[in-house]
Structure formats: structure tokens, C-alpha cells
Chains A and B, each alone.
Chain A
């Protein structure tokens, strides 16, 4: 299985900050990576697919980059509604696997 490792596991930030989350794959996955946002008690929501493509309806302050093994999710100008847990997912190889999550908390 491809292991997905996210860092940091949590980050404290203020409204207006830029937040960067990293996801590393245990082997190359080209650009087959998605990012999800999950709020407490809710289902995950797809933000980014194919490493850098914004899902329809997702604000442009979210962006993704990377290829191969190293990927980044950036949130520019953090908004109150962005405090949540973020997960990466690789879709290069079965089984589909997710990172352990990064919780973005209010500083």
C-alpha cells in the first residue's frame, strides 16, 4: 500500500494567515492526489483533485501543488470557516489511501 504522511498533524493560525500543509507519498503517485476538508460531525468535502485542480465551488484561496511524492495544500488568507481537518488522498494505486489528517486550529 502507498502510505500518505501529512505534516504537521495540527497547526494553529489566525484569520488572515497563510497556512501550508504537506503530504508525502511513500512512492511516486504522479499527480494523483486529492485534498479534502472535514468539519466536526460532517462528511469530508473535496477541495482539490489531480494535485492542483480546484473542485467546482471551492474558493480560490485554496490551492494545491506538487507531483511525484511531495504535495502541498495552501490556504491563503485563512477564513473562520476554514478551521477544520484536512486530508490528502492518493488515487494512483489501489488501495486508495488517505493521509492521517492536519487539524487547522484557531490561534
Chain B
């Protein structure tokens, strides 16, 4: 059974960098035909795709965040990570990691982690 788990600080100061890691268990992050993505959801609001990565390192980002986002993968640890720089209160959200197939539907999700941006 595939399991994804987000980890990282729950509180980040404005202008600093938000860093999260997603640990994948029950399956290999290097499997063919799967992409690994980050999606966020501000409190009480809808879903926003942040970016996705293939195990080879190919990345796809939301242009609205592209200048601040880096998604990376560590196949040796079966993990992928999100870095979001220069955060503001608008970046406060529940951050989800998720797996998608070739057609980018997210079929497995982590439980989500709330990150609050506040001084």
C-alpha cells in the first residue's frame, strides 16, 4: 500500500524559505510512469497545484510560483522535496504531496501538513 508523508516546519517567518519533504513508502519513487507533486490549499479555500517532478529530475512548475519554487527528488531516500522562498502570509496553507500517473491525475495523497507564515 503506497503511503506518502509530508514533514517539515509548521511555522515559517515572512521572507524566509518554506521547506517540506515527502517520504514515500510502500513503493518506489523511481517507478516508471509516475510523477510526484505538491498541491496546497489555503484555509477554507480551493486547491492549487505547485509543481511536479519525475524521478529523473524533470520538473513542471506553476508559473504563478515558478520564480520561488524548487521541487527536487532524492531517489536514495525515496523522498521528494519542496522549497518555496520569500514566503508571505499568502503562502499559509495545507501542503499536500501526491503521486500522479502519466496524465497527472493525483491518485495517492499524503495527509497534508499545515504551514503558517507568521512572525
Contact = CB atoms under 8 A, between A and B. Distances in A.
Interface stretch (B11-19, B81-89, B108-116): B108-116
Query: How big is chain A's contact interface, by range?
Result: 20 to 34
A103 to B, nearest CB: 11
Interface in B76-117: 96, 98, 103-107, 109-112
25 contacts: A1-B63, A1-B64, A34-B106, A36-B47, A42-B111, A43-B96, A44-B47, A46-B105, A49-B107, A50-B103, A50-B105, A87-B47, A89-B105, A91-B103, A91-B104, A94-B62, A96-B49, A96-B52, A96-B62, A96-B104, A97-B49, A98-B46, A98-B48, A99-B46, A100-B46
A100 B62 CA distance: 17
* Chain A interface helix/strand/loop/mixed: loop
Interface of B: 46-49, 52, 60-64, 96, 98, 103-107, 109-112
Given A43-B110, A44-B109, 5 more contacts: A44-B106, A95-B61, A95-B64, A96-B104, A98-B48
B67 to A, nearest CB: 14
Contacts of B64: 1, 95
A99 to B, nearest CB: 7
A94 B50 CA distance: 11
A55 interface: yes
B36 to A, nearest CB: 13
Interface string A40-68: 00111110011000010000000000000
In the A-B complex, the 3 residue pairs with the smallest Cβ-Cβ separation, listed nearest first, are A43-B109, A91-B104, A96-B49
Contacts of B111: 42-43
Interface string A70-107: 00000000000000000101010011111111000000
Contact of A55 (B49, B96, B98, B107): B107
Contacts of A87: 46-47
A2 to B, nearest CB: 12
A101 B63 contact: no
A97 B63 CA distance: 12
A33 to B, nearest CB: 9
